[in-house]
Amino acid sequence: MANGVSHPDGSEWIKVATVISRSLAFLCLQYTDFKDGSVLEKAEFLSSLGLPYADSAGMIGSTEASIRELARLAKKSKGARGGKKTKSKTKSKRAKR
């Protein structure tokens, strides 16, 4: 301990690295177009940087449950729009008669 500087052990380094990574992720968000995006867009951007929804929720002023629900609804609506529409066979048989 030269000059009163302590050397943190392994668990301290993990805490320091976590704080730094979250701070950098937040700064990255502030300098992108996602800054003005929806809550889900911000959460997905932070998730792409490696932050779980629980961590990103606090940064963007939401809750993990809310973000998960928004993601579920977005996924559900994509599935509904992308499905192939087919005619039912009963209608086509009636049309032939």
Annotated domain spans of the chain: 14-80
Q: Specify the pLDDT at position 77.
A: 83
Instruction: Give CA–CA dist 37/74, Å, rounded.
Output: 15
Instruction: Give CA–CA dist 29/23, Å, rounded.
Output: 10
Residues 50-73 pLDDT 10s? 999 999 999 899 999 999 999 999
Q: Specify the pLDDT at position 11.
A: 85
Assess whether pLDDT exceeds 80 at residue 20: yes
Distances (CA, A) of 80 to 4, 26, 73, 86: 62, 33, 11, 14
CA atoms within 13 A on the CB side of 32: 15
Q: Specify the pLDDT at position 84.
A: 57
Element (H, E) at 21: helix 10-30
